[in-house]
Amino acid sequence: MSFKPPALVLLVALVVAGCARQTSFTTDVYPILEQNCLSCHSDGKEGHAASGLSVENYGKLMRGTNFGPVIMPGSSASSTLLILVEGRAHKSISMPRGSPPLSSAQIGLIRKWIDEGARNN
């Protein structure tokens, strides 16, 4: 049997690609929501009263607002949450209201999580 380095390199590349860490709601996304959104979007707070959106946990986030879901698993482009935090909505409803905008890294994590299926992981 002859050793074929290119085949070995390809095999290693495939294994590494398959092991890429999936974005986690618990460790990646929830801390962003907790830090930037929870003070308004939890039960009894102003944002929850106005929209019905609570980000207290995965189930409540996925339930969405009085107007419908804010997360479309697999499609960050169609997810209202991303439209609001990216500033693609009217300024009057951009989020987080009254606070600095999310960083591009934070938005990227939320986008990646949604595009990966918005799992409760």
Whole-model pTM? 0.83
CB 33 within 8 A of CB 61: yes
Q: Tokens 């969405």 sit at which residue?
A: 64
- Interatomic CA distance for residues 103 and 98, integer angstroms: 15
Q: Which residue ranges of the chain lie beneath pLDDT 70?
A: 1-19
Phi, psi of 120 (to 5 degrees): -90, 80
- Interatomic CA distance for residues 105 and 47, integer angstroms: 24
Which pLDDT score is estimated for 20? Answer: 83
Query: How far does the chain reach from its first CA to its final CA, in angstroms?
Result: 44
CB 75 within 8 A of CB 114: yes
